[in-house]
Amino acid sequence: MVEGLSHITFIVRDLDRMETILTTVLDARKVYDSGADTFSLSRERFFLVGQRTNAVWIAIMEGEPLPGRTYNHVAFKIPDTKYDDYLARVRALNIDLREGRSRVHGEGRSIYFHDHDNHLFELHTGTLAERLERYADGR
């Protein structure tokens, strides 16, 4: 039986640049840096995002960026009261902020941005329960 999410890995050209995004926007805490050692495919760093008991492990590894952009993405939950703060964090890094998709009232707000390696991130204020409840109401 699957117990839950283990980790998310992003292949990035520049570990330092991605570390800046993770620590500035997501308040990530770096817990490992391979330095010149490579236990896996290339140099790597590990981060924790979120509260300690529910933190998400993010690994970044050096490599070639994605060839293009898609809507495939990872979404992180943020409180609605902090929406403007997170939007300012993304804007301060001058990374590619993407217009959010059209939404119906009650399903939460989102901030989308691409990193320098074509990964799409979402910062979302809603929950699955809220979305399902809203969708059950119809348009």
Phi, psi at 20, each rounded to 5°? -60, -45
Residue type for position 89:
R
Active site (annotated) includes residue 130: no
Catalytic residue among 44, 64, 99, 130: 44
DSSP structure string for 60-129: EEESPPPSS--S-EEEEE--GGGHHHHHHHHHHTT-EEEPPPP--TTS--EEEEE-TTS-EEEEE---HH
Q: Beta strand pairing status for 110-114 and 96-98?
A: antiparallel
Catalytic sites, residue numbers: 44
